[in-house]
Amino acid sequence: MSEAGEAALRDEIARLGRSIFDRGLTHGSTGNISAKVDDGILVTPTGSNLGNLDPARISKVDWHGNVLAGDAPSKEAFLHLGMYRERPGNGAVVHLHSTHSVAVSVLADVDPRDVLPPITAYYVMRIGTLPLVPYYAPGDPQLAEAVRGLASKHHALLLANHGPVVGGSSLSAAADAVEELEATAKIFLLLRGQKIRVLENAEVADLRRRFPVK
């Protein structure tokens, strides 16, 4: 990737971070965004606020997490590296502490193999299946292992009592998917206790045929 290409990607991460923060999709210094470059990934720095990123200071780490440029990376960079290792087609990963998704990650009565029902077509098209990753403290190497174990089959994961991690072919694809997940989590919570019709198996299968999730 050229220097200009990397600079453009840094700008895109900062723009996306601001958009996410301004819409309240993550708060304080939570959440992190990464994008793949030739020799590793660009990832938002530790303690950074997504609404106020300096593109030049965004961290660049190699595939082992060693810092190549910029500030020290997020403590959660290992989650991102685990996703890229298992998903060579992914160009970006977004991890948020978005309120409704976190709320769902705390519920005791969900199916850990697939947390949310197929409420809407767009949820099926952009997320599909959402496994729950068991709870580990932030920074625990077992969390990275658990993420890697699921990432080869799933581009979207929900960390229990924590939040979503979603990969995509590009920053905009990953952002679209994590936003779809957050909107669906909100709808799911709005409907708790109500009688609802979710999409039938045949409808879900038809969507998967027409719009395979990447």
Could you give the residue numbers annotated as active site?
Answer: 76, 122
Each residue of 90-118: b (16+ CB within 10 Å) or e?
bbbbbbbbbbbbbebbeeeebeeebbbeb
Please, which residues bridge with residue 133 across strands?
159
**CA–CA dist 97, 28 (Å, integer):** 10
Could you report how far apart the first and last alpha carbons of the chain are, in Å?
23
**CA–CA dist 62, 110 (Å, integer):** 36
CB-based contacts of 44, cutoff 8 Å, min separation 6: 13, 17, 31, 32, 33, 34, 50, 53, 58, 59, 73, 74
Please, which residues bridge with residue 143 across strands?
none
The distance of Cα 174 from the centroid of its chain, to the nearest Å, equals: 7
